[in-house]
Amino acid sequence: MTETTPAQDKSDAIHFKKMNCTIVSYLQRWELYQDRFLNCISNQIVEMQQQQENQISLVLEKKDKSRITINFYSFSPSKNINIKMDFDILWCWKFPIEYVPQPSGLRWIQTISAGVDQILEKRSLPEEIIITNAKGFQAEPIAEYVLGAILGHAKGLFYNVQANKDKRMKSMMPDTLNKKVLGIIGTGNIGSKIAQIARNFGLKTIGLKKHPGRRPAGFERVYLPSDATDFYKTVDYLVIAAPLTPETRNMINDRVLRLLPQGAYLVNVGRGEIIVEEDLIRAVKEGHLSGATLDVWRKKTPQPDFFDQERFLITPHFSGFSRYYAQHAATIFGQNLLRFINREPLNFVIDRSNGY
């Protein structure tokens, strides 16, 4: 899916008039992303030279037939390399802000993820720098992950995996999903895809969104923050698919968890900081919640309590990934780079005031 978003008051920031440009990619497995990126822009490449193992020089033809030279440097976060150069464009997931020279020529940051809180939390990042994300293609794998988590819980699969480790089985009464209520916090691309797939299982889908407006696809009903209490009181399965913003940080706390019906189940594919983890652990230990599947958590590693309880399933933040992830992310960057050098509005521009 392609979404064109004007840069609004930053429109002059994409009027890139230089005849050369420096790009830094800061990615794990950068060779994979670079290969897909070069394939995406291959029709515009007039000349390409390998300068070093991590550096290539490109000459691209623009729409007006003029040419621009691109110096493309790639670095791996795992090697802790200090980047001592100025650059115009950054392609990354997370990036140490101290690596940006001061003063800087940085004009644009393209992430490989849908969430950009790891970039926006850098308060010293100048407002004139455009930030774009990579979104849309994660929705389907995340939706499949969520339904897998819900089915695994309802059918007792997770608990038998644990029991099988001790060469035994755990007898329990499996549940059905038909007519159960699935509440989704965040009704964007990801939340909407979850809702659409969930309805195939007979789940009633309701959403909680920040702003009024049209009802997103897949939802039978959408609540606003002013009606959040009514939303929480009705859900059997609560899914967090929202970005991390000042409004969503710590929003799932003890008060909210106690509003959920007895035995409700939680799935988090948003951000770990949205949940107050101690409150969630307590709600599960006390039996108010039947369990949770967490693909994200607050700290670098999950709390030990998450592994001590059979009613938690913890995964390594991979719900949005598939074998095609690098291809999709590289295509978005390649298309945006061509828009950038041709002084056109970029796709997926982040509104810093909203956080997405």
pLDDT computed for residue 15 by the predictor = 54
Average pLDDT of the residues in 268-291: 97
- Enclosing domain of residue 12: 8-136+324-341
Give pLDDT tens digits for 117-160.
888 887 778 889 999 999 999 999 999 999 999 999 999 998 88
Give pLDDT tens digits for 58-97.
999 999 999 999 999 999 998 767 777 889 999 999 888 7
Average pLDDT of the residues in 28-46: 96
CATH number of the domain bearing residue 98: 3.40.50.720
Is 265 found in the same domain as 121? no
Is 82 found in the same domain as 176? no
Average pLDDT of the residues in 42-55: 95
Q: By the 8 A CB rule, do 270 and 186 touch?
A: yes
pLDDT computed for residue 308 by the predictor = 79
Residue 307 included in any domain: yes
pLDDT computed for residue 1 by the predictor = 39
Residue 348 included in any domain: no
pLDDT computed for residue 16 by the predictor = 60
Average pLDDT of the residues in 323-343: 97
At 332, phi and psi to the nearest 5?
-60, -45
Does residue 293 register a pLDDT over 80? yes
Is 289 found in the same domain as 149? yes
Q: How far apart, in whole angstroms, are the C-alpha atoms of residue 130 and residue 253?
A: 33
How many domains, in total, are found in the chain? 2
Is 304 found in the same domain as 155? yes
User: With pLDDT > 70 as the criterion, what percentage of the chain qualifies?
Assistant: 95
Average pLDDT of the residues in 213-217: 94
pLDDT computed for residue 335 by the predictor = 98
Is 98 found in the same domain as 154? no
Give pLDDT tens digits for 221-250.
999 999 999 999 999 999 999 999 999 999
In degrees, rounded to 5, the angle at the alpha carbon of residue 243 between the alpha carbons of residues 224 and 107 is: 125
Rg for the chain, CA atoms, rounded? 22
Is 278 found in the same domain as 225? yes
pLDDT computed for residue 161 by the predictor = 86
Residue 219 included in any domain: yes
Is 252 found in the same domain as 172? yes
Does residue 176 register a pLDDT over 70? yes
The token pair at 49 is 């030279």
User: With pLDDT > 90 as the criterion, what percentage of the chain qualifies?
Assistant: 78
Average pLDDT of the residues in 95-116: 87
Distances 85 to 99, 127, 214, 272 between C-alpha atoms, Å? 9, 21, 46, 34
- Which residues are CB-neighbours of 205 under 8 A, at least 6 positions away? 182, 184, 195, 198, 199, 218, 219, 220
Does residue 12 register a pLDDT over 80? no
Q: How far apart, in whole angstroms, are the C-alpha atoms of residue 278 and residue 201?
A: 32
Average pLDDT of the residues in 328-341: 98
pLDDT computed for residue 36 by the predictor = 97
Question: Strand 130-132 to strand 108-111: parallel, antiparallel, or no bridges (unpaired)?
Answer: parallel
Residue 84 included in any domain: yes
Is 239 found in the same domain as 164? yes
Is 162 found in the same domain as 118? no
pLDDT computed for residue 17 by the predictor = 64
What is the three-class DSSP state of 74? strand
The token pair at 350 is 């982040």
Residue 208 included in any domain: yes
Residue 319 included in any domain: no
Does residue 342 register a pLDDT over 80? yes
Q: How far apart, in whole angstroms, are the C-alpha atoms of residue 110 and residue 338?
A: 13
Residue 90 included in any domain: yes
Is 106 found in the same domain as 144? no
Q: Which of 6-10, 53-57, 247-251, 256-260 has the lowest mean pLDDT?
A: 6-10
Average pLDDT of the residues in 33-57: 96
Q: By the 8 A CB rule, do 212 and 200 touch?
A: no
pLDDT computed for residue 122 by the predictor = 75
Residue 353 included in any domain: no
Is 328 found in the same domain as 238? no
Does residue 260 register a pLDDT over 80? yes
Is 201 found in the same domain as 269? yes
